[in-house]
């Protein structure tokens, strides 16, 4: 499914870059990283040697659900997005992107939650989406490079993982594109490299906004790193299909 980036940009006058330029051309790339389209790029949401047993078996459970219960496994790529929708290449030369002081070999981009390339050290995760129920499950195993208090995961890394899952869910459930707000109420620290399961649901869609909740818990639901009142609100955009050329 391809959409008109320019049409979207025209409706986003209040979402502008640092220099006030409209966000032209960025949306096709956004879609390409959200949707389970075919690509030659390596999907990083596949099991590797760092995944713990709980993560492996839950991943398998949800893969079974993709065959029978309408769930979709979302692919995830480490990186490098381009305005033309490809997911490789150097950092795009947006006018607001102040990279003139960086050397050319440092101009590559990576999706933040795939910024660490060593297996098991950073964000290990896979997201499954259920379209008819407008909900997602993210299996997240935070590695030792995401440390906050010694031995435990940084609260900011949990926030980042939630924002990424919120954003994918918001787009797929109702074309929500931008995080307008989110809040987190922490309850327990998360030991690094343990498994966090995040259940995200769209609670309501109203006035072009999606209201979403997230409950984070351990596999057995005995441990909850946050209170269940998390909420992400996404701006919904009714995009038009691109006309055939």
CB of 203 to its own copies, least distance (A): 17
- C-beta of residue 186 within 8 angstroms of C-beta of residue 226: yes
CB of 108 to its own copies, least distance (A): 6
Q: Which is nearer to its own copies, 10 or 70 (CB)?
A: 10
CB of 65 to its own copies, least distance (A): 24
Contacts of the segment 237-243: beta carbons below 8 A, 24+ positions apart: 237/8, 237/11, 237/12, 237/175, 237/176, 237/177, 237/208, 238/175, 238/208, 239/3, 239/4, 239/7, 239/8, 239/27, 239/175, 240/3, 240/4, 240/7, 241/1, 241/2, 241/3, 242/2, 242/3, 242/4
CB of 143 to its own copies, least distance (A): 8
Q: Which is nearer to its own copies, 35 or 91 (CB)?
A: 91
Q: Among residues 43, 44, 48, 163, which one is catalytic?
A: 163
Q: Is 106 helix (H, G, I), strand (E, B) or coil?
A: helix
Query: 108 an active-site residue?
Result: no
- C-beta of residue 197 within 8 angstroms of C-beta of residue 138: yes
Residues classed as catalytic: 163
């Amino acid at each position: 499914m391809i959409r008109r980036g320019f049409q979207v940009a025209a409706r986003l006058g209040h979402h502008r870059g640092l220099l006030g330029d409209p966000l032209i051309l960025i949306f096709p790339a956004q879609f390409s990283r959200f949707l389970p389209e075919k690509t030659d790029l390596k999907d990083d949401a596949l099991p590797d040697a760092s995944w713990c047993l709980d993560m492996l078996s839950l991943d398998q459970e949800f893969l079974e659900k993709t065959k029978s219960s309408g769930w979709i496994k979302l692919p995830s790529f480490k990186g490098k997005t381009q305005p033309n929708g490809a997911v490789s290449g150097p950092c795009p030369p947006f006018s607001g992107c102040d990279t003139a002081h960086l050397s050319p070999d440092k101009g590559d981009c990576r999706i933040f939650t795939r910024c660490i390339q060593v297996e098991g050290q950073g964000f290990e995760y896979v997201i499954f989406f259920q379209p008819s129920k407008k909900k997602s499950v993210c299996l997240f195993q935070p590695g030792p490079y995401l440390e906050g208090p010694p031995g435990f995961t940084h609260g900011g890394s949990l926030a980042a993982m939630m924002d990424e899952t919120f954003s994918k869910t918001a787009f797929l459930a109702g074309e929500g594109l931008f995080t307008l707000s989110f809040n987190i109420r922490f309850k327990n620290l998360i030991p690094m490299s343990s498994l966090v399961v995040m259940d995200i649901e769209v609670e309501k869609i109203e006035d072009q906004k999606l209201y979403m909740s997230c409950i984070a818990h351990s596999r057995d639901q005995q441990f909850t790193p946050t209170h269940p009142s998390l909420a992400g609100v996404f701006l919904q955009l009714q995009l038009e299909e691109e006309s055939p050329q």
